[in-house]
Amino acid sequence: MKVAFSLMINVTILCGQGPNLVRAAALRQTTTITCSQGHTEIVGLRSTERLPHAIGEARLERKKSTTDIDVEIRGMKPASLFGGDYNTYVLWIVSPDYGTVRLGELVLEGNRSGLHSTTNWVTFAVFITAEPHYLVSTPSAFVVLENRRNKHGSTIHYPVLEGVYNFQRTDLDDVKEAKGKVHSEVKQAYTAFRLAKRAGAAELAHEELRLADQALDKTLSLLHSGMNPSEIEAQARETVRLAVAAQHLAQDRAFRIVRVETEGSGGGSDEAGRHDCHPRRERYGADLQVQ
């Protein structure tokens, strides 16, 4: 089972596909905040080395069984300036008990952005990452803002993807801020489609990737015809959704390949597993090395 788990990690990270691929998630440390019933907490967000001059705050208010979260940030620069696969910013919370949850995308208006969200959690930490698109399921290693250390909170660790996404810069210290709203929707659509292909979706999720390809074509058609920006944005987001579905399916099927290779079972009969996975063994065999 230890071998199978190691190979499962390999397949999960296969979506990164790159010569400098790091085959493990890195752990990042933070401290939690507790928002008690009827109280409002104002939590400062401090910048990291990725975006040194950024600043912000999170206003947390506990109302019955819900915690309202209002985040305001400033001193920001477009995530696309990191280059490679990065396009936008995403807000996350992480709990000692329940893991990490994506709360939403932070769209820049000049050097500022804000987001309102809710959770039923009482104790958690808040952080913001640069990401390829708004539907990522795991935070990247490009953490740009995080809540300030809280001496009354507990120290927790959470995983970030490292060595998975391409980039050209590790920080945005000496680049200019944007003027006006930063539109990254079409770039997100492009990148989501590219990540799906890099995850093997052309073979492992062919029909799902075809639907994403059609959606991307429609996105570009709307863009070139000068349609209303809201229509372009909606279609681009649909493209991301379809591409992510193709990527996840490809990763699930790649995981079954690993199970066939290591356990002789793809979750069904041995015969069914061989029929589904073995024709693709040559493509993935070089990547499935025991760590």
The answer to whether 51 and 193 are in contact (CB under 8 A) is: no
- Domain of 67, CATH number, reads 2.60.40
User: Are 82 and 137 members of one domain?
Assistant: yes
User: Are 98 and 56 members of one domain?
Assistant: yes
User: Are 121 and 193 members of one domain?
Assistant: no
What pairs with residue 60 in β-bridges? 41, 69
- What pLDDT does residue 271 have? 37
| 126 or 263: which leads in pLDDT | 126
Residue 19 has pLDDT above 80, yes or no: no
**Is 260 within a domain?**
yes
| 52 membership: H or E segment, kind and range | none
| 11 or 185: which leads in pLDDT | 185
**Is 19 within a domain?**
no
Long-range Cβ contacts of 99-104 (<8 Å, 24+ apart): 99/158, 100/138, 100/139, 100/158, 100/159, 102/136, 102/137, 102/139, 103/69, 104/134
Tokens matching residue 254: 């790649």
Residue 287 has pLDDT above 60, yes or no: no
Tokens matching residue 137: 């399921």
User: Are 278 and 199 members of one domain?
Assistant: yes
The answer to whether 58 and 115 are in contact (CB under 8 A) is: no
Whole-number Å distance between alpha carbons of 271 and 159: 36
What pairs with residue 75 in β-bridges? none
**Is 209 within a domain?**
yes
| 263 or 165: which leads in pLDDT | 165
User: Are 193 and 270 members of one domain?
Assistant: yes
Of the three residues 98, 127, 161, the one that is the final residue of a domain is: 161
Residue 265 has pLDDT above 80, yes or no: no
User: Are 98 and 58 members of one domain?
Assistant: yes
- What pLDDT does residue 264 have? 65
| Short-list 289, 288, 259, 287, CA closest to 273 | 259
Condensed to tens digits (0 to 9), the pLDDT of residues 103-154 reads 999 999 999 999 999 999 999 999 999 999 999 999 999 999 999 998 889 9
Whole-number Å distance between alpha carbons of 154 and 28: 14
Q: Report the domain count for the chain.
A: 2
**Is 6 within a domain?**
no
Whole-number Å distance between alpha carbons of 144 and 75: 11
Reduce the DSSP state of residue 249 to 3 states and report it.
helix
User: Are 140 and 37 members of one domain?
Assistant: yes
User: Are 81 and 118 members of one domain?
Assistant: yes
Half-sphere exposure of 207 (CA within 13 A, CB side): 0
Plot region of 289 (φ>0 → left; ψ -120 to 50 → alpha; else → beta): beta
User: Are 46 and 154 members of one domain?
Assistant: yes
User: Are 152 and 233 members of one domain?
Assistant: no
**Is 171 within a domain?**
no
The answer to whether 117 and 95 are in contact (CB under 8 A) is: no
Of the three residues 161, 196, 215, the one that is the final residue of a domain is: 161
User: Are 254 and 144 members of one domain?
Assistant: no
The DSSP call for residue 109 is B
**Can you tell me the mean pLDDT for 57-61?**
97
**Is 15 within a domain?**
no
The answer to whether 232 and 183 are in contact (CB under 8 A) is: no
Q: What are phi and psi of 160, to 5 degrees?
A: -130, 150
Helices (H), the chain: 2-13, 185-198, 201-204, 206-224, 229-263, 270-277, 281-285
**Is 115 within a domain?**
yes
User: Are 150 and 202 members of one domain?
Assistant: no
**Is 10 within a domain?**
no
Residues spanned by the domain of 208 = 185-285
Condensed to tens digits (0 to 9), the pLDDT of residues 162-194 reads 999 999 999 999 999 999 999 999 999 999 999
